Structure formats: structure tokens, C-alpha cells
Amino acid sequence: MDIGKNIVRLSNHESSVSIKAGAGKYILEAAVRRYKKLIFTKGGNGALLNPVAKTVFPTPTTSVPTHALAPKGKYPLLTHRNIQVSGGNIKLNLDTDESYTLNVPAKGGQATIKVKSVYGALRGLESFSQLVSWTEETDQHHIPVAPVTAKVVYNYDLTANMTKEQSKPVLGGEVGLWAEAIDGIDLDRVLWPRGATAAENPTTTELLKGKFFAIIMVAIKLLTSISLLAATSMAWVWPLPEKMDIGKNIVRLSNHEFGVSIKAGAGKDILERAVRRYKKLIFTKGEYGALLNPVAKTVFPTPTTSVPTHALAPKGKYPLLTHLNIQVSGGNTKLNLDTDESYTLNVPAKGGRATITAKSVYGALRGLESFSQLVSWTEETNQFRIPLAPVSITDKPVFPHRGVMIDTSRNFLKVADIKRTLDGMSYNKLNVLHWHIIDQHSFPLKTKTYPQLAEKGAYSKHWVYTEKDVRDIVSYAKDRGIRVYPEFDIPGHAYSWGLAFPDIVTCMNMQPNWSDYAAEPNSGQLNIINPKTDVIVRNFLKEVTTWFDDEFVHIGGDEVNFKCWEDSPGYPEYLQKNNVTLDNLFGQFVLKSHNWVRENKKTPITWQEALTSHHIPIGKDVAVQVWLGAADAIKVVEAGNRVISTSYERWYLDCGRGAWISDSQGNSWCDPYKGWQVVYNYDLTANMTKEQSKLVLGGEVGLWAEAIDGINLDRVLWPRGAAAAEVLWSDIKLADGTIRKTGDVFPRIHEQRARLVDRGIGAEPLQPLWCARNPRNC
């Protein structure tokens, strides 16, 4: 492929295509219609990329040509594409010729694709479409590197270490998608973009001993190798209730004959909105849930107990449950660590009226969720029913802090993505969203005090959160009984601050030696000897902390690199003049930042390094988030501080999905992948005394977003996040102190995954459906 340095532009209204072909012309005509739509679509994600990532240059050090970023102008217009096919064979087989040549002139006018088959023309059309880009600044479609000459002959190199004769039988390759843990919900995410790398250069080889034809398969196989045992000792409510008694009777429900009454003081409006949501959820005919065999949905005392025939019985005149009565005795609607989320739920066997009693509206929300999970729909009977009445539940959480951490700096999450995550959290009785809102990669928070931070630091003017957005998310979360607190990670991870204020950030983007100065690119830490830094951060916190109702603000403090400061101008002199060390300096800044949080009537949270690595004398009010392991959690409680556990060894859900650094060998720093069983088998208070364990507030699963955005968010989080939710809500220890066997949990987590999918959450499958239907045979 040869390229130039000129721009040619394209216009949807001034673009035509001519086709010279015999047999198969109709295939190309249909393709041209498809590609016109693709070429002239204004791709938001593609437009966000720097042209250097979209254009071909001879060496990695070549800079982006300024013309590629030039404003809209009178560039030559490419008016026509001429497709010439010399062959007439439209049969697809191993001999099909897919080669093509493509020419785009620098002066505009007519581009040409020349091929020997219509299938070669299809490949050429795809390549042409990839040359065209659209930029928001110019609102123009153009090819920025004309003239372009490309000649492509498809030649897959799968014959390494083979003789010439041995390589002849190699037909090509395939990527494999064995579907033990794949279905339509996560198919795209599993296949792409890894399938694209295989398309360009498959590298898996096999020495052929004989003369048989071979197709070499690159298998992407996600297999869960855990045995499913019997159903558990509870029904299919998730997370597992504290106490639950069930019967053997069916009661049925009808959308047209079911009412809800609410007796509550303050917060009645929250419950009224919740009831409207849950009526839709309860009376939705869930496809995925209905596919599960009742043995995977019902709880029996022993592995050998068969499915009761009444659970499969045809539609009949079972007692009708006509009403749900919700009674809230308390009137406090404030969400905090002291919020009472307990509830009781009773469903009578004779039908009539079910009741939920709670001491707060948030306890009533948890009861509503449990009630909704008791109801199932079957395609055979076309009936909504509770098959194990009477039901009596008394329930409350073990930990008050049960959370998910999202990262919106490395990759932006749209408001709709965050709200969908809040929905999924509510279905699992999680109650804290830790919003890691800004970091080194981008600054997507738009403030009135310093609007330039987002103007210079966000990926796009459209990819920012305003005060209105934040308050909307906080309100949406509160309606679901979820607290939201922000994290502003300082003084490390600060590159994005420096795009607006270069003088308050040191060692900005030290390429190519970024790894000497930061845990990941792009490097940059706050300049903690510049008084201006204190002014800007303090004023920033004064404004944005008011947008959040929660008592906590996370102030970061992790992964600080002292070399960044050591090698920055002014630091050696400052340290000598003031007779301080970098450790002293860092400690002073951490304590100042905690006081800035307190000034705004908030309580600081910090990552553990401040206490466990640097031994900074932080206040006892500070909650410490531990990510480096259980031993450090014990150090924190021994110091008398409260703990939020997020062990990377258990609850970093981004781990094990491959490396994102360009020159890596493909493995992530925190391999292996944390399957749901690993997530579930996490004892947050292991080796602690009873008094020490009281300081453990709970935990959060972490979703660092180097390779996560709204497209794959659901699949990475769910249902593994559901496993963490049960750890945090229920006592997963058995009477003898051991952790409940995951094999006993499998049938219920299958049901919870199906429920999430039926409610619009793209949770990944865990096994083939056959295994979910036959839990004692996998």
C-alpha cells in the first residue's frame, strides 16, 4: 500500500458508483447500497481517535500531518468509484480469487477497484470504506492520505516451520467460539476485536505430517470447569436471605388483578416510583428465566429430591394473590452507613394479600426486589406464579457498604450506561456506587469554577458530565437505595489536570520512558510544591462535593511515583531549603487534602498506600480502601481505621482479560481472570478478631476501565458482581465456619444471570444451558 499527503473529500450527494461486471453484478449492487450507508455515517467513536491511530505512516515516530487536522476547505472532490470485474465466476470455494487493486487519485475525480471476482470487489469496497474518515470539527468526510494505491493478495501465513510440500494442504484458519460460556448477549464482545487480529495475521501453526488437507483453528474457548451439585437450602432469592421458610403450594398473579398499597411517611414517593418499576419487572415474560428447568430455580433439602409435580403443573385455578401491602415504620430517607435495610416478607398459601414490613423505605425496596424474584413465568402455562407458598422471609445485610467502582476517565461511560449499572446493582441489593470520575487519561467533569479542566481534558465536548448529569445520577441511585460518592485521585494520576494548568502538574507524559514515572501511561502528578495547586484543588472540591449527597469523598492517594518529583525542576532545591524528604512532602499533601474534604462536611476515603506504605498519620475518621490483599486489611484495622475491601486478587474484575499496553505480550498484570467462584470465595474478615471485623464496612468490586466502556461493561461486571453482592449481603460462612460450596450456589446464580438478562442487563453466561437445566450432571 502506497499513500500520499493530500486530502480528497467525499459528499454523499455528489458520489456515484459504476459497476462493470457480468455474473454477480447484483451482489455488488447490494453491497454498494450497504457501503454508502457505512461510508457516510458520522462515526462518533471513530472521530474521537487521533488521526495517527487511523492513518498509515511508515514509522512509529512519524508525526500526524497537520493537513489531516485542517479545517474544512475546498479540497478536491472524489465524485466517482469505478468497480471493474474481469471474471464472471460467482461460485464460492477454495479457488475463489479475492485479490484486488484500489486506486484513489490525489486530484479527486474517480477512484477505481479492479478485481477478478465479485468477492475481490467486496474486499476492495471494505478497504475503500476504511480509508474514509469523518471529523466533528469539519463535519466532512475525507481521505487524508491520497493518492492511495493498494494491491492485496490474501495470503495467510500459517505454515511456519513447514516444508513447501507440507504447506500446500493448509487451507487457512478459523477462530473458534465454543459456547460453553457464550451466547448472543456477549458474542460480539468475545469475538471482536480479537477476531480482527486473526483476520489480519493468524499465527497458530501445526506441523503437518501427512498429505491431508488441514484447517487450522485458533480456539477462543471460555469453559467453566466447576461441577454443579444439588440445589441449595433456600429458594431462588438472590442474595441469599438471612432466614427463609417455604411451602409446597402455588399461588398465581395477574397483572390486571394485582394491587399494591403503601403505608409510609417520608419517602412514600420513592416507593411509589419503585412499585411502578417492579410491576413492569414482575409481569414481564422473561425468555431466559423461562428456559431454565425448575430444578435450577427451586430449592430442595437433598440432591436426590425430585422436582415437585405441582411446579410443572398446567394452568389451573390456584389461589390468586391479589395484593401486596408495604408498611414502613420509620420516616428517615437519608442514605448512609446507618440506614436500616432489613425487611420481612410474607406470602400466604391461600392467596389474597402478601406483606412487606420494613423500618425504612430502603428496606422496603430490598423486600420488593425479593418479592419480584419469587415470581416466575412459564411458557407452557402462560401464567405468573409463586410456586412454593407460603413464603416467609426475614432478612438484612451483613455489611452496610456493598459497592461497585466504575472508572469514567480511562474510557467514558454515558449516563445511560451508569444508570443501567445502577439498575443491575439494585437487582442484587448492592447499595454503593464508587464513581472514579477523573484520572490521568481524561477529565470528563465540567465545573463552573474551572470549566477549562473539561474543555482541555475531556475526550470530547460531548463526553463530559455536567452538574445536572451528576445530580440526575445521584437522584436515580437514591430511588434505588444506592449511595453515590466520587473519587478524585490525587496527587498521582494527574496528567489530565495539566492539560488546562500545565504548571500544577510535573513529569507530564514522559515518553517513551513513562514507566519510570507512572504505573501506566500517561505520566503526570500534581506539583505539590506549587501553591497554585492547593488553590485549584481546594476550590474544585468546594464546588463538586456539593453535587453529591453522600458523606464520603474519595481522595485517591495511590501509586505515587517519587521519581516523578525527584526529576522535576525545583524539587531538589525545595527539599534542601526546607529540610524535608519527599515522604514528608507527600504526607503533608495527603493530610491537607483530607482537610479540604472535611471543610466541605465530608469524610475522606483514601487508598491504602497512605497508611500501609507511607505510614502517614491519617485521622481515625478516614476510611481506607484496601486493594493489595488481606494482610493489609488487618494492618488497617489494627491502626483503628475502617476498611473497604477491594482485593485485586479477588475483586478486580478487569483482570485476566489481556494486556492493553501496545508492546506487551498479551497478559494483564493481575492475571488470571477472576471467575465468579473466585469472587464468591472471599472472606472479608479472615484472620480478624471479632472487634477488628467490626471495622470492616464492606467491599467493592473494581472495574478499572483501560479496556472497558459501555459496550462491554455489563458482561465484565455481571454476573460476577452478583457473586460479590451475595458475599456482602449474606453470611456465606456455614455453621462450621467454612465458606459455602460454589457448586451448591451454581443453580441459583444461573437463575440470577437469566433474571438480569431478562431485565436488560447484558450479563455473560456461565455454562451451556444444558448444564443449567441439569445441575447434577456438569
118-131 vs 25-39: helix crossing angle, rounded to 10:
10
Q: Residue 490 corresponds to which cell in the numbers above?
A: 490525587
User: Is 142 within 8 Å of 75 (Cβ atoms)?
Assistant: yes
H/E stretch holding 64: none
Strands 401-407 and 432-438: parallel
Contacting residues for 421 by C-beta, under 8 A, at least 6 apart: 404, 406, 413, 433, 713, 714, 717
Q: Is the dihedral of CA 463, 467, 472, 475 positive or negative?
A: positive
CB atoms closer than 10 angstroms to residue 542: 13
Q: Residue 641 corresponds to which cell in the numbers above?
A: 481505621
Find, among 631, 659, 645, 658, the residue nearest to 702 by Cα: 645
CA distance 773 to 291: 8
Mind spelling out the 3-state secondary structure of 624-653? EEECCCHHHHHHHHHCCCEEEECCHHHHEC
Find, among 384, 180, 406, 422, the residue nearest to 286 by Cα: 384
CA distance 523 to 440: 7
Q: Residue 16 corresponds to which cell in the numbers above?
A: 456515484
Catalytic residue chosen out of the listed positions 180, 559, 649, 706: 559
Q: Residue 572 corresponds to which cell in the numbers above?
A: 531538589
Find, among 98, 220, 218, 75, the residue nearest to 155 by Cα: 98
CA distance 649 to 163: 46
Beta bridge partners of 321: 352
CA distance 30 to 10: 21
CA distance 289 to 659: 35
CA distance 388 to 390: 6
Read off the amino acid at residue 709.
D
CA distance 277 to 280: 5
CB atoms closer than 10 angstroms to residue 104: 26
751 classed as catalytic: no
Q: Is the dihedral of CA 751, 755, 757, 762 positive or negative?
A: negative
Phi/psi for 85 (5° steps) reads -115, 120
H/E stretch holding 146: strand 140-146
Strands 352-358 and 321-328: parallel
CA distance 76 to 468: 44
Strands 140-146 and 6-10: antiparallel
CB atoms closer than 10 angstroms to residue 550: 23
Task: Catalogue the active-site residues.
Answer: 559
